[in-house]
Amino acid sequence: MPSGRTHDRITLWALPWIAGLAFWQTRSSNITLLIAGGFLFGGLMFGPDLDIYSRHYQRWGWFRWIWLPYQKSLRHRSFLSHGPIIGTTLRVIYLCCVVGSFTLLMLLIIQKLLNLQWNWQITGESMGRSLIFYATEFMALFLGMELGAMSHSLSDWSGSAYKRFKKKGIAGVLPSGKIKKRKVSSRMTRQTKRSRSRKSVKTAENKKI
């Protein structure tokens, strides 16, 4: 697994390529900026390693504690944090829930303190409208974050595959080796269980005799 510094380098080196590709495909400076910004955010702060005490986690500074429940509920390098699409989607939902609950709490406190009448229905409707209106921008930002997270996960996987290759050769990289081993070991355990139960029946019979 590459170190945090290597992950950062990969993100920074890939950034001009991502930005160039985005501009070439979209011809829009706004969308390019959102994809590139999302890529930087995803690669440096909002990446899969938020499931552990990491550079990503430390970069949240004062607010890093918001990721503690996320870390507690996920195993490091699990599919839910490092998997494609699912990792970024879960983190976005998690962050939206945290930020949403705090905003709601703050608004309720302000409402009570200043005795204001807040129309929650209008607030909800305008939020929904802006989500639809800026759908392309949100998608661009999400794509950038996903690419940033994937550059991390891919380098994690290729790093471990390279280590296995150095240790065991090509067999270490191929998944079939593992499956065969698992099949053989499960067959062996089944056989030993059967022979053990036969032995116990025999000894019971001998005792009776």
- Which residues are near Zn ion by CB under 5 A? 48-49, 156
Least Cβ distance, residue 136 to Zn ion (angstroms): 30
SS (H, E, C) the chain: CCCHHHHHHHHHHHHHHHHHHHHHHHCCHHHHHHHHHHHHHHHHCCCHHHHCCCHHHHCCHHHHHHHHHHHHHCCCCCHHHHCCCHHHHHHHHHHHHHHHHHHHHHHHHHHHHHCCCCCHHHHHHHHHHHHHHCHHHHHHHHHHHHHHHHHHHHHHHHHHHHHHHHHHCHHHHCHHHHHHHHHHHHHHHHHHHHHHHHHHHHHHHHHHC
Pick between residue 34 and residue 149 the one whose CB is nearest to Zn ion: 149
**For Zn ion, which is the closer residue by CB, 146 or 156?**
156
The answer to whether the CB of 39 falls within 8 A of the CB of 148 is: yes
CB of 149 vs Zn ion, minimal distance in Å: 9
Pick between residue 38 and residue 48 the one whose CB is nearest to Zn ion. 48
* Closer residue to Zn ion in complex, CB, 49/146: 49
Residue 139 C-beta: closest distance to Zn ion, Å: 25
CB of 15 to Zn ion, least distance (A): 19
- Specify the residue, 9 or 198, whose C-beta has the smaller distance to Zn ion: 9
Task: Provide, rounded to whole angstroms, the least separation between the CB of residue 101 and Zn ion.
Answer: 27
